[in-house]
Amino acid sequence: AERINIAIDGPAGAGKSTVARLAAQALQYIYVDTGAMYRAVTLRALEQGMSNEDEERVAALANELDIELLPGSDSQRVLVDGEDVSTRLRSLDVNRNVSHFARIEAVRHRMADLQRRMAKQKGVVMDGRDIGTHVLPDAELKVFLTASSIERAKRRFLELGPDPGISLEQLEKEIAERDRLDQEREIAPLLCAPDARVLDSTGKSADEVAGQIVTWALAIA
């Protein structure tokens, strides 16, 4: 079969990364978590005391950061300038700030450029917010993955570990706020591509959802 590119977009906590990773494994494709790239920029910017209003400094940082995505056994490992920051990318602090940094045009430009290079050889499953609409508009398969807001909050709650530091209700509010920022931003907002297949993961297992995507992919490739 021919290798294709698969774009998976959708709101926070819809299960994109788990499902994208499983589908990539089944197809022997490369999985690219683009949210992790925006998180990496955000983490370093916060560490260096930058605010999202320091657009020029953040842009310079994004341009010089070396971001490496390595396949991990149950999630993607992320190296920034050689340092494994995977766990720190999921902190509340990064969650709360990432959409503000992801609005910066130069940051988006740089990330989209890196992402297109990774997809050039085909055989990539890429998840994010603007992959089907903007980064890979020619992707052969586009999926828009959704789930109810309470289910999405529960998934992210579990990701925070035994000491979440926030209530489920508060987390649901913060996720809704992040989705709003992602949908309303000017450049490459979160949006369902007209040619995307909408898949609702509420009440479905990750294996079930990944299986559907693999079936679609095999029917095309």
Q: Does 178 bind ligand C5P (CB under 6 A)?
A: yes
Among 23, 67, 130, 171, binds ligand C5P (CB under 6 A): 130
| CB nearer to ligand C5P: pick between 135 and 217 | 135
Q: Are the C-beta atoms of 48 and 95 separated by less than 8 Å?
A: no
Starting at the edge strand found earlier in the chain, the sheet holding 83-84 runs 67-70, 77-80, 83-84
Rounded distance, CA 52 to CA 60, Å? 13
Q: What character string, x for contact with ligand C5P (CB under 6 A) and - otherwise, covers 26-45?
A: --------xx--xx------
Q: Does 129 bind ligand C5P (CB under 6 A)?
A: yes
Q: What character string, x for contact with ligand C5P (CB under 6 A) and - otherwise, covers 134-153?
A: --------------------
| CB nearer to ligand C5P: pick between 12 and 143 | 12
| CB nearer to ligand C5P: pick between 79 and 221 | 79
**Binding site feature residues for ATP:** 10-18
Task: Give me the residue label for tokens 């992707």.
Answer: 139
Q: Does 12 bind ligand C5P (CB under 6 A)?
A: yes
DSSP helix/strand/coil, 96: helix
188: left (phi over 0), alpha (psi -120 to 50) or beta: left
What is the β-pairing status of strands 141-146 and 67-70? Answer: unpaired
For residue 6, the surrounding DSSP H or E stretch is strand 5-9
Q: Which positions touch ligand C5P (CB under 6 A)?
A: 12, 34-35, 38-39, 98-99, 102, 128-131, 178, 182
